[in-house]
Amino acid sequence: MDLVVVHSISLPPGRYVGDAVERLFTNRLDWNAHPYFGTIRGIRVSAHFLIRREGALVQFVSCDERAWHAGPSSWQGRPDCNDFSIGVEFEGLEGAAFDEPQYVALAALVEALGRRYPIGAVAGHQHVAPGRKGDPGNAFDWPGLRQRLVRSTLEFAA
């Protein structure tokens, strides 16, 4: 694993309480619990991590295993980012601002991952699947994330 891909998610969109995201990533979402869930019925996705609004970190998949977060994607000419990336979901809406504790948690996570894996870059879903995905969006604070990371050798997509 040498790439971290940042995503954004909230279920239903804009709702930041409850366990719907966790249920989605563990294949336990009740598709009838909310009208929006019917529009994504049957979707099977996973991510390695979720960073909640207050900065709490939840892990779903071992970083040594493949998660299904990037879909059809490529990074620097390498197809299928799921094969070589770690997926981190930010609780939030695409294009909307995220909370400071989330960036603090992400920086700490990237630093920790860099001690275990040859992490060389951090990109958004929008960068590995342009035209298909737009998350985390233009409100994501890439410069702020760069400043929080001690490892200045990381490449950033934005």
Q: Which residues are catalytic?
A: 89
Q: Which amino acid is at 4?
A: V
d(CA 11, CA 130): 23
CB neighbours of residue 60 within 10 Å: 18
Residue 139, helix vs strand vs coil: coil
Helix (H) or strand (E) holding 125: helix 125-128
28: tokens are: 């336990």
